[in-house]
Structure 1
Amino acid sequence: MTAVQIAGREVHFNKQGHLASFLDWDNDLAEALAAEEGLELTDCHWSVINFLREYYAFHEIPPSPKVVIRAIGHEVSRHTPCTRKNLESLFPDGGCKQACRIAGLPNYYCHAC
């Protein structure tokens, strides 16, 4: 486990670079993680991130891309039907896995993405 100063505090990450604790996450940390990966978070990003966190908090696994698209696809792609390609374009460095990292989900739960 590695401790890193990010978003003004010490945060612990596992060997794969994911948060060690789901509860350590907050919006400032998400912004900092996204910036490190070259992303500026938009409302669409936040819709996905918040959905991932809410789903994980309830089910203890991340939703599949199909579940995300069905639940919040209208927020991700307002004028055309949302597809997995739309979802992955928001997080171009790994799609759902990148979204899971920024949302603070543990690495081992992102294999479903």
Structure 2
Amino acid sequence: MPTAQVAGRSLEFNKQGHLMSFGEWDTEIASALAEEEGLDLSECHWKVIHFLRQYYDTHEMPPSPKVIIKAIGNDVSAHVPCTRKHLESLFPNGGCKQACRVAGLPRHYCHSC
């Protein structure tokens, strides 16, 4: 497993670049991972990230974009309908793959990305 220094800590990542240990994640790591990917995290990003982590913690798998939109779509996009395209614009370098990586999930839901 590749190891990398992120936010001053030595962390293990899998071959796809996802954090191996769900429990080692914190907002400092998320910010550092986002910065590496050229993302400036907004309130909308954080809502998606926290939802991903909560869902994964409960179900042991990431949610599909459809589940995200249904659960928190109004929180992410209050003035216009939240769509998959809108979610992908928040994480432009891979959509849910990128969101899951920043959220510290050990994998993404590949059937929906």
In structure 2, the partner of 1:43 is: 43
The amino acid that maps onto 2:5 is Q
- The answer to whether the 8 A contact 1:73-1:81 is kept is yes
Q: CA deviation at 1:111?
A: 1.4
**3-state secondary structure, aligned to 1:111:** coil
Question: d(CA) in 2 for partners of 1:49 and 1:102?
Answer: 7
Q: How does 1:1-113 map to 2 (within 5 A)?
A: 1-107=1-107, 109-113=108-112
TM-score (norm 1): 0.95
Question: d(CA) in 2 for partners of 1:73 and 1:93?
Answer: 20
The amino acid that maps onto 1:8 is G
Question: d(CA) in 2 for partners of 1:36 and 1:86?
Answer: 22
Question: d(CA) in 2 for partners of 1:112 and 1:102?
Answer: 19
- The answer to whether the 8 A contact 2:63-2:109 is kept is no
Q: CA deviation at 1:112?
A: 3.6
TM-score (norm 2): 0.95
Question: d(CA) in 1 for partners of 2:109 and 2:18?
Answer: 10
Aligned length: 112
- The answer to whether the 8 A contact 2:48-2:68 is kept is yes
Identity %: 65
Q: Which has the higher helix share?
A: 1
**3-state secondary structure, aligned to 2:40:** coil
Q: Which runs of 5+ in 1 are unaligned?
A: none
- The answer to whether the 8 A contact 1:4-1:10 is kept is yes
Q: Which runs of 5+ in 2 are unaligned?
A: none
The C-alpha deviation readout for 1:30-51, integer Å capped at 9, x for no partner, is 0000000000100000000000
- RMSD over aligned CA atoms reads 1.0
The amino acid that maps onto 1:110 is Y
